[in-house]
């Protein structure tokens, strides 16, 4: 049983050693001459303006989260679309349509909830 | 015929529910106490009917399982709520309900005006219910239910005066020690169940079934372990070495509780349990030896401590431990019937003693309270001369004391003598018998001594209570005295149903009714002993007479010593002083006998007693119990720190767990 | 070919695990968890391809959507925590311990 | 174009889940469309949903096999899962009953609570009846995501925030392990269907020594161990239980733990019987660790919610003892135990809610001083729950524990039982400590009582009945549990 794992273990060990090694090695031998310019955050070569750690309105996060949620649900449309024609061919067109209808309705419930909750309003 | 036995535990349960749920609303003490006592009285009535029914049956039809309903059933395992009615449980029923009823009545008077009166009766009824389950249960599991229940009630009642810190501590101690015991019991149940099922395909925990297959245990090496773990359970519940120290502390509870739970019934549960499973014990000679030795040692050991106590209830507590030791001694030498017999007589006279001491304390307490004295109402050094103040209490107390001391004609004599004889003559332990007998005999001497010391210090001599309080001492009300009288009566006549054989023959062929009655329960053990005894017990009648005489002599010697030490010094001098001045000096100095006794006997004994109590009892035994507790708690404290509150630490622990598990499977 | 994918995903999974253990920012920790999930996704896809069985791919769909849902809930929790504590450093998430 | 075979759907197999989900969505919309602060109506509506779902569960009992199977073998609503579903519904119902007052008191009475409870319950049900690793995973995630929110529900309370965040981070982390285990199992057997995994393993004897398969099993075990809070994957439990709103703690300790066991049992016993030698060793160790760690740390806890959290770890350990046994009796024991645990734990938490007050919650053991004098009836019921938790007869806790241990004995795990009994004996100490305070100490201060609402009374009464009746006549429940075992 052990034998089967040996390559994996060796490989994992090497990976870890390599990673650690290069980190340690570079911090050991790399020259350290920090200057103000070097330490400044990189912003497309332009002069940095203000702190990069500025706080954003929470609205950005909420909108982004909602976007991700609804966006990712769209992934289920693809497999559905792939088999859609097969179902029609088999005479199950209404069924497959209704299935997706149910899915959309559920999403829609979520959407209405979010909407009524006021999460989409910017102000 | 026995269809109605389920009523026996039902009545106290109803009493508990009524008092527990509505007691606070009822308020009226008479009603609450009446309900409590009536419930037990009803049980007693049914128990009496059951006893008569059993007696009316032929000897070999006296074992009955009365199923009520199936409790747990799964595959091969079955535990019913079912009651086992046989001579043994009948005896226990009579003791529990009979003595229990008297103590309930007594409590109405004793607990008068206490805060939480209803709570007391609710607990007391719950206790009676649990105890009845314990003795009536026809399987180990139901017995365990009762076993836990009585422990719980005991715990609650010890801590009844929870305002006192000592009461809470005592409750906790009782609880911890009982848990150790319960652990043993449960382990025994599991091992027994598993062994019999695994090796013989008989999955049962029912007593009659187990008894039926008793011979299967022959040559079972595990049997010693099984019986020993059960015995661990018994030592916890019945306060034997090394788990006995909770019992003296348990005296923090109200006195009726001490009488009912910590003298008459609950603490005898261990004895009953061994009696119930005698067919297992008889086949485990090592266990028998351990039981006998522990019992004998406890009997002697607790008796020595008893001589050095000044608290009236503590003397009785150590006495109880000691008497329980006798019962285990009896069990250990195979004299099961004698052990149960002593259990019964002990219930009578010890309950009487406790209740009597309660009456004294009650009276003392009121008197001291009246004149705002803070003297200890339980300290015998504050008592003395109560004979004239409380004649009825004195009378009953004296009778019970004579009974426990083992004076012929009283109950204690018959049972104790039977145990001593069996310890000497049993065929199980060979040359160890002499030692066992010596343990018992020495304990008997000490018992007689400390009990009469107690009587003399409490009831005789000068009244040492604060003079102002003296006039407030008075006899207790009838509700308290009545149970005392009944119990004293039983302490006298209770013994005659179990007359030793030789005595019975002398008196014209009176048989040992008690032994005959219990015979069906112990039949297997009898047969087994007959078949396996190494040396048949051929002891001459003369020897038995001789030993009986010796034990009587021992009792009188003990009483004599107590008399000399605690009475004589106050009476003799007065008579002789004027007539014989020359002699006076010697008499005044008590013939220097006191000094001699002090030097030879009392001082060493007291010193030993004190040492054992303060040194061994408090330091070693408590130390071990507390030490285990502290170690576990310390461990717990250390483990807590792993719980650092940091997510990454938790994640690390999970990862480590996963890695270790996977690594273990890969590398093994 | 399969082994390489499996090894890659094992390495990704380990890096994710290590990240969870050593990073202190709750959001980064969650990103590491996402990395672990995606490592698993890679495993599923590779196995699915190797086995010629579509179940693995379907599983990946679910993992992805579930991860999105978790992300939404997680961010919401972090915002709530941040409002009270002005920090999402996991060293500050230790009001309760012992 | 190949001809399409219509997959067997059979909505009846997910009837309870469907009912709960629909009710939950309706409640979600009602919550935003009906204005007003009063949210109690949502609680009652969700109770109706739970009751309807319960009827659907009852009606599914002993249904013929075609009625149980659904979605092409992805779900199987057998008696096993139905029994668990009943447990989930009971714990959800009790949690809903005790929630409203608490949430009003803590000023976090947002209406989303009830839909979330229902969604979580639906997730648990899916876990119990899932026969495809995918379904189990989905159920688990529906449950977990809802629970993360529920744990952090009191969003103005820092402890609750922390509980939610900790639970979320560690939960997601454990999901990673679970998924990886599933992926490896899929790789080894080529399927995610439980029944097919079992048949693949039965056909190919080399599979049981295939590292991929074994490690897959182990990693899944890690994931499930997290859910049931088995040591050393238990560390989230005390923090989350302490910080979460008390009704949710009650819910979390009863339902999701049972759900974890349901899926765990199905995966190991049905899909991987060929690895039994491996996983029973693992479970043995987990059981011992879990019981011991839970009980020992609980000994030194002063906060009663935290104490019950550690005790819930210990209880998972007892259930693992039955699982280790690996026989039908052990499974039936777990079913019985989880049901009675739901009753006794939620009951105890209901009383904790009553004693607690806002802001400075009376959650320390000392706060129970004199409870027995002030409120004898409630104290007596609390004592009953504590007895049951301590496994004292004649309560359901005792019967359940006895049943679990005797199952382990039958399989010959004597030492495991010895350790279990020892643990159980030690556990009495901390339960009884609460009783000591209730009955043997004088009250330090006046109780600041929450009003006893009928809903809380109902939940306490139901729990008390659920603890006492199976304790005295366990055969009713046991017979059902025996019909519900797998195999």
Other C-beta atoms closer than 10 Å to the C-beta of B438 total: 15
Q: Which band of pLDDT confidence, cut at 50, 70 and 90, is reported for residue D164?
A: very high
Q: Tokens for B266?
A: 């609950």
Q: Tokens for C98?
A: 């012992």
- Domain assignment present for C52: yes
DSSP string, B3-42: GGGGHHHHHHHHHHHHHHHHHHHH--HHHHHHHHHHHHHH
Taking residues D355-374, report their average pLDDT. 76
Choose among B186, C64, B322, B530: nearest CA to D417: B186
Q: How many CB pairs under 8 A join A and C?
A: 36
Helix (H, G, I), strand (E, B) or coil at D364: strand
- Domain assignment present for A44: no
Q: Over the stretch A75-102, which tens digit does the pLDDT of each residue have?
A: 888 888 888 888 888 888 888 899 899 9
Interchain CB distance below 8 Å, D232 and B141: no
Choose among B665, B666, A3, B659: nearest CA to D279: B665
- Candidate from C7, C65, C68 with C-beta closest to A11: C7
DSSP string, D285-331: HHHHHHHHHHHHHHHT--BHHHHHHHHHHHHHHHHHHHHHH-SHHHH
Highest mean pLDDT among B207-221, D12-26, D372-386: D12-26
Interchain CB distance below 8 Å, B190 and D422: no
Q: Over the stretch B569-600, which tens digit does the pLDDT of each residue have?
A: 655 444 444 555 655 454 344 344 445 545 65
- Partners of B79 in beta bridges: B72
Please give the pLDDT value at position D366.
Answer: 83
Q: Tokens for B91?
A: 């005896």
Choose among B238, B265, B280, B320: nearest CA to B92: B265
- Domain assignment present for A123: no
Taking residues B3-22, report their average pLDDT. 87
Q: Tokens for D173?
A: 């982390």
- How far apart, in whole angstroms, are the C-alpha atoms of residue C71 and residue C82? 16
Taking residues B81-104, report their average pLDDT. 90
Please give the pLDDT value at position D284.
Answer: 94
- Which of D14, D17, D28, D33 is the best substitution to test chain A (most A C-beta atoms within 10 A)? D28
CA-based nearest distance A69→chain D, Å: 13
Interchain CB distance below 8 Å, C93 and B641: no
Contact call for residues D135 and D141 (beta carbons, < 8 A):
no
Other C-beta atoms closer than 10 Å to the C-beta of D434 total: 21
- Domain assignment present for A46: no
- How far apart, in whole angstroms, are the C-alpha atoms of residue D217 and residue D377? 48
Q: Tokens for C11?
A: 């390495």
- Which of D168, D184, D189, D241 is the best substitution to test chain C (most C C-beta atoms within 10 A)? D168
Taking residues D243-271, report their average pLDDT. 93
Q: Are A24 and A63 contained in the same domain?
A: no
Contact call for residues B334 and B428 (beta carbons, < 8 A):
yes
Q: Is the peptide bond before D394 cis (omega within 30 degrees of 0)?
A: yes
Please give the pLDDT value at position A42.
Answer: 66
Q: What angle do CA B660, B665, C1 make, to 5 degrees?
A: 100
Residue A4: closest C-alpha in chain B:
B666
Alpha helices in B371-410 (DSSP H): 386-389, 391-405
Please give the pLDDT value at position D156.
Answer: 87
- Domain assignment present for C39: yes
Q: Over the stretch B343-371, which tens digit does the pLDDT of each residue have?
A: 999 999 999 999 999 888 888 888 888 78
For residue D6, the chain A residues in CB contact (below 8 A) are 90, 92
Interchain CB distance below 8 Å, D190 and C29: no
| C90: contact with B, CB 8 A cutoff | yes
Q: How many CB pairs under 8 A join B and D?
A: 153
- Candidate from A58, A71, A73 with C-beta closest to C79: A58
- How far apart, in whole angstroms, are the C-alpha atoms of residue B250 and residue B233? 18
- Torsion, Cα C30 C33 C35 C38, to 10 degrees, reads -120
More confident residue, A113 or D368: A113
CA-based nearest distance D241→chain C, Å: 10
- Candidate from D218, D238, D412 with C-beta closest to B661: D218
- How far apart, in whole angstroms, are the C-alpha atoms of residue D483 and residue D61? 10
- Which of C11, C18, C33 is the best substitution to test chain D (most D C-beta atoms within 10 A)? C33
Taking residues C10-20, report their average pLDDT. 91
pTM for this structure? 0.79
CA-based nearest distance D32→chain A, Å: 6
For residue B148, the chain D residues in CB contact (below 8 A) are 392-393
Residue A13: closest C-alpha in chain C:
C11
CA distances from B420 to B2, B498, D392 (A): 37, 15, 39
DSSP string, B50-119: HHHHHHHS-GGG--EEEEEEEEEEETTEEEEEEEEESHHHHHHHIIIIIIHHHHHHHHHHHTTT-TTHHH
Residue A6: closest C-alpha in chain D:
D211
- How far apart, in whole angstroms, are the C-alpha atoms of residue B612 and residue B34? 43
CA-based nearest distance D410→chain B, Å: 7
Please give the pLDDT value at position B219.
Answer: 74
| B646: contact with A, CB 8 A cutoff | no
Interchain CB distance below 8 Å, A1 and D28: no
- How far apart, in whole angstroms, are the C-alpha atoms of residue D137 and residue B300? 68
More confident residue, D94 or B169: D94
Question: What would you report as the CA-atom Rg of chain B, rounded to the nearest whole angstrom?
Answer: 26
Q: Over the stretch D283-296, which tens digit does the pLDDT of each residue have?
A: 999 999 999 989 98
Pairing of strands B77-85, D69-70: unpaired
| B641: contact with A, CB 8 A cutoff | no
- How far apart, in whole angstroms, are the C-alpha atoms of residue B661 and residue B663? 5
Other C-beta atoms closer than 10 Å to the C-beta of B621 total: 17
- Domain assignment present for C92: no
For residue A116, the chain D residues in CB contact (below 8 A) are 29, 32-33
- Domain assignment present for C95: no
- How far apart, in whole angstroms, are the C-alpha atoms of residue B80 and residue B62? 20
CA-based nearest distance D5→chain A, Å: 8
* Domain carrying residue C42: 2-87
Please give the pLDDT value at position B589.
Answer: 44
Q: Which band of pLDDT confidence, cut at 50, 70 and 90, is reported for residue B411?
A: confident
Chain B window 521-560: which residues touch A at a Cβ cutoff of 8 Å? none
* Domain carrying residue A67: 58-116
- Domain assignment present for C93: no
Please give the pLDDT value at position B588.
Answer: 41
If residue D75 lies in a helix (H) or strand (E), which one and from where to where?
strand D75-76
Q: Could you report the predicted ipTM of this complex, rounded to two decimals?
A: 0.87
Contact call for residues B647 and D308 (beta carbons, < 8 A):
no
Residues shown for chain C: 98
More confident residue, B666 or D462: D462
Q: How many CB pairs under 8 A join C and D?
A: 126
Q: Tokens for A64?
A: 């982004």
Q: Are A20 and A70 contained in the same domain?
A: no
- Which of B659, B666, B668 is the best substitution to test chain A (most A C-beta atoms within 10 A)? B666
- How far apart, in whole angstroms, are the C-alpha atoms of residue D439 and residue D441? 6
pLDDT of residue B643 exceeding 50, the answer is yes
Q: Which backbone phi and psi does D182 adopt, to 5 degrees?
A: -65, -40
DSSP string, A103-116: HHHHHHHHHHHHHH
Taking residues B245-255, report their average pLDDT. 82
| C68: contact with A, CB 8 A cutoff | yes
Please give the pLDDT value at position D311.
Answer: 93
| C79: contact with A, CB 8 A cutoff | yes
DSSP B277: T
- Partners of B66 in beta bridges: B83
Please give the pLDDT value at position D175.
Answer: 94
- How far apart, in whole angstroms, are the C-alpha atoms of residue B99 and residue B93? 10
Interchain CB distance below 8 Å, C43 and D141: no
Interchain CB distance below 8 Å, D211 and A92: no
Task: Count the domains in chain A.
Answer: 2
For residue C72, the chain A residues in CB contact (below 8 A) are 65-66, 68-69
- How far apart, in whole angstroms, are the C-alpha atoms of residue B518 and residue B445? 29
CA-based nearest distance C94→chain B, Å: 5
pLDDT of residue A118 exceeding 70, the answer is yes
For residue C84, the chain D residues in CB contact (below 8 A) are 156, 158, 161
Please give the pLDDT value at position A41.
Answer: 66
Q: What angle do CA D322, B668, D200 make, to 5 degrees?
A: 65
CA-based nearest distance B466→chain D, Å: 33
Tell me the CATH number at C35.
1.10.287.3510
Task: Count the domains in chain C.
Answer: 1
Q: B406: phi > 0 → left, psi -120 to 50 → alpha, else beta; which?
A: left
- Domain assignment present for A52: no
Alpha helices in B427-466 (DSSP H): 432-459
- How far apart, in whole angstroms, are the C-alpha atoms of residue B133 and residue B652? 51
CA-based nearest distance C95→chain A, Å: 25
Please give the pLDDT value at position D359.
Answer: 61
Buried b (16+ CB within 10 A) or exposed e, A16-54: eeeeeeeeeeeeeeeeeeeeeeeeeeeeeeeeeeeeeee
């Amino acid at each position: 049983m052990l034998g089967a794992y040996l390559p994996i273990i060796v490989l994992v060990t090497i990976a870890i050693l390599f990673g650690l090694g290069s980190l340690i090695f570079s911090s050991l031998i790399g020259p350290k001459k920090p200057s103000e310019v070097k330490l400044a955050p990189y912003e497309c070569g332009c002069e940095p303006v203000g702190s990069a750690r500025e706080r954003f309105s929470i609205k950005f996060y909420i909108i982004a989260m909602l976007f991700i949620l609804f966006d990712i649900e769209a992934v289920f449309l693809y497999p559905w679309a792939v088999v859609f024609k097969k179902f029609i061919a088999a005479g199950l067109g209404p069924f497959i349509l209704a299935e997706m209808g149910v899915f959309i309705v559920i999403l829609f419930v979520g959407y209405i909830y979010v909407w009524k909750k006021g999460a989409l309003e910017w102000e | 015929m026995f269809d109605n036995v389920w009523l026996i535990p039902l009545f106290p349960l109803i009493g508990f529910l009524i008092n527990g749920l509505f007691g606070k609303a009822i308020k009226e003490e008479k009603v609450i106490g009446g309900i409590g006592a009536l419930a037990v009285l009803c049980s007693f009535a049914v128990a009496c009917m059951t006893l008569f029914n059993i007696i009316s049956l032929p000897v070999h039809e006296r074992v009955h399982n009365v199923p009520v309903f199936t409790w747990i059933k799964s595959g091969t395992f079955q535990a019913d709520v079912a009651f086992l009615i046989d001579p043994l449980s009948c005896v226990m029923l009579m003791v529990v309900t009979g003595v229990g009823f008297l103590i309930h009545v007594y409590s109405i008077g004793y607990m008068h005006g206490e805060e939480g009166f209803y709570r007391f009766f609710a607990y007391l009824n719950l206790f009676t219910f649990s105890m009845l389950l314990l003795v009536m249960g026809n399987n180990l599991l139901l017995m365990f239910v009762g076993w836990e229940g009585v422990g719980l009630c005991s715990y609650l009642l010890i801590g009844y005066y929870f305002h006192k810190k000592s009461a809470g501590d005592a409750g906790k101690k009782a609880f911890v020690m009982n848990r150790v015991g319960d652990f043993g019991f449960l382990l025994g149940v599991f091992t027994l169940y598993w062994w019999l099922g695994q090796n013989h395909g008989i999955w049962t925990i029912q007593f009659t079934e187990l008894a039926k297959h008793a011979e299967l245990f022959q040559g079972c090496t595990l049997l010693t372990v099984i019986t020993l773990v059960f015995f661990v359970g018994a030592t916890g519940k019945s306060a034997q070495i090394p788990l006995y120290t909770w019992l003296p502390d348990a005296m923090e509870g109200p006195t009726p509780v001490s009488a009912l739970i910590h003298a008459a019934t609950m603490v005898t549960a261990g004895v009953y349990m061994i009696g119930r499973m005698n067919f297992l014990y008889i086949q485990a000679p090592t266990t028998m030896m351990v039981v006998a030795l522990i019992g004998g040692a406890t009997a002697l050991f607790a008796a020595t401590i008893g001589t050095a106590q000044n608290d009236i209830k503590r003397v009785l507590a150590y006495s109880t431990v000691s008497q329980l030791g006798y019962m285990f001694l009896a069990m250990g030498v195979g004299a099961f019937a004698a052990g149960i017999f002593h259990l019964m007589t002990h219930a009578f006279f010890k309950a009487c003693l406790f209740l009597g001491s309660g009456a004294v304390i009650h009276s003392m307490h009121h008197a001291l309270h009246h004149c705002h004295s803070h003297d200890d109402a339980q300290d015998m050094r504050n008592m003395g001369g109560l004979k004239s103040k409380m004649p009825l209490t004195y009378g009953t107390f004296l009778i019970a004391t004579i009974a426990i001391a083992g004076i012929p004609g009283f109950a204690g004599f018959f049972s104790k003598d039977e145990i001593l004889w069996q310890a000497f003559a049993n065929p199980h332990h060979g040359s160890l018998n002499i030692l066992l007998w010596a343990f018992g005999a020495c304990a008997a001497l000490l018992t007689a001594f400390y009990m009469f010391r107690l009587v003399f210090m409490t009831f005789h001599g000068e009244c040492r209570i604060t003079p102002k309080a003296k006039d407030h001492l008075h006899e207790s009300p009838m509700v308290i005295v009545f149970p005392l009288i009944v119990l004293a009566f039983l302490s006298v006549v209770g013994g005659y149903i179990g007359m030793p054989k030789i005595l019975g023959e002398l008196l014209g062929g009176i048989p040992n009714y008690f032994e005959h009655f219990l015979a069906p329960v112990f039949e297997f053990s009898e047969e087994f002993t007959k078949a396996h005894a190494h040396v048949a017990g051929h002891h001459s009648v003369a020897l038995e007479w001789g030993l009986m005489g010796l034990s009587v002599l021992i009792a009188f010697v003990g009483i004599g010593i107590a008399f000399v030490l605690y009475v004589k010094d106050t009476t003799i001098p007065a008579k002789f002083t004027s007539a014989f001045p020359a002699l006076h000096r010697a008499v005044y100095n008590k013939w220097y006998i006191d000094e001699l006794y002090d030097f030879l006997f009392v001082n060493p004994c007291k010193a030993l007693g004190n040492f054992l109590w303060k040194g061994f009892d408090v330091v070693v035994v408590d130390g071990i119990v507390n030490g285990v507790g502290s170690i576990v708690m310390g461990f717990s404290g250390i483990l807590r720190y792993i719980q650092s509150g940091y997510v990454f630490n938790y994640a690390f622990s999970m990862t480590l767990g996963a890695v270790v598990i996977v690594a273990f499977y890969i590398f093994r | 070919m399969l082994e390489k994918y499996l090894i890659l995903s094992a390495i990704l999974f380990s890096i994710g695990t290590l990240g969870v253990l050593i990073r202190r920012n709750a959001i980064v920790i969650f990103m590491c968890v996402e990395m672990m999930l995606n490592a698993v996704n890679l495993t599923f896809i590779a196995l699915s391809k190797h086995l010629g069985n579509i179940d693995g791919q379907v599983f990946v769909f679910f993992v992805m959507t579930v991860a999105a849902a978790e992300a939404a809930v997680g961010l919401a929790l972090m915002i709530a925590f941040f409002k009270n504590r002005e920090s999402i450093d996991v060293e500050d998430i230790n009001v309760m311990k012992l | 174009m190949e001809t399409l075979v219509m997959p067997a759907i059979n909505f009846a197999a997910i009837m309870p889940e469907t009912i709960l989900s629909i009710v939950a969505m309706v409640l979600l919309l009602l919550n935003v469309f009906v204005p007003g602060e009063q949210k109690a109506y949502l609680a009652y509506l969700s109770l109706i949903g739970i009751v309807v779902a319960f009827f659907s569960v009852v009606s599914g009992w002993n249904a013929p096999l075609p009625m149980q199977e659904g979605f092409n073998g992805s779900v199987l609503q057998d008696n096993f899962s139905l029994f668990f579903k009943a447990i989930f519904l009971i714990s959800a119902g009790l949690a809903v009953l005790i929630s409203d007052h608490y949430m009003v008191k803590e000023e976090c009475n947002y209406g989303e609570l009830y839909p979330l409870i229902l969604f979580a319950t639906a997730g648990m049900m899916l876990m119990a009846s899932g026969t495809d690793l995918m379904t189990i995973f989905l159920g688990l995630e529906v449950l977990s995501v809802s629970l993360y929110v529920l744990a952090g529900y009191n969003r103005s309370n820092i402890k609750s925030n922390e509980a939610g965040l900790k639970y979320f981070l560690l939960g997601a982390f454990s999901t990673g392990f679970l998924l990886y285990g599933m992926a490896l199992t899929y790789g080894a057997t080529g399927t995610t269907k439980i029944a097919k995994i079992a048949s693949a393993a039965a056909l190919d004897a080399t599979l049981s020594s295939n590292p991929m398969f074994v490690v897959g099993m182990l990693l899944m075990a890690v994931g499930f161990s997290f859910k049931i809070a088995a040591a050393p994957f238990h560390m989230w439990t005390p923090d989350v239980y302490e910080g979460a709103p008390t009704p949710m703690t009650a819910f979390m300790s009863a339902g999701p733990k049972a759900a974890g066991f349901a899926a765990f049992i199905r995966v190991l016993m049905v899909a991987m019987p060929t690895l039994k030698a491996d996983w029973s060793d693992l479970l043995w160790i987990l059981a011992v660790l879990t019981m011991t760690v839970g009980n020992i740390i609980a000994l030194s806890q002063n906060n009663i919610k935290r104490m019950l959290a550690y005790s819930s770890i210990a209880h998972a350990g007892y259930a693992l003892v039955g699982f280790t046994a690996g026989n039908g009796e052990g499974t039936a024991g777990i079913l019985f135990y989880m049901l009675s645990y739901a009753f006794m734990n939620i009951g105890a938490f209901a009383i904790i809610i009553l004693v607690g007050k806002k802001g400075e919650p009376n959650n320390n053991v000392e706060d129970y001083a004199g409870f027995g004098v002030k409120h004898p009836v409630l104290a007596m019921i609390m004592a009953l729950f504590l007895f049951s938790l301590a496994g004292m007869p004649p309560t359901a806790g005792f019967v359940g524990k006895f049943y679990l241990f005797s199952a382990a004995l039958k399989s010959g795990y004597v030492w495991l039982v010895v350790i279990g009994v020892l643990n159980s004996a030690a556990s009495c100490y901390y339960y009884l400590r609460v009783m000591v305070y209730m009955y043997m100490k004088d009250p330090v201060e006046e109780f600041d009582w929450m009003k006893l609402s009928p809903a809380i009374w109902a939940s306490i009464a139901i729990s008390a009945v659920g603890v006492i009746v199976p304790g005295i006549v366990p055969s009713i429940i046991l017979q059902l549990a025996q019909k519900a075992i797998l195999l």
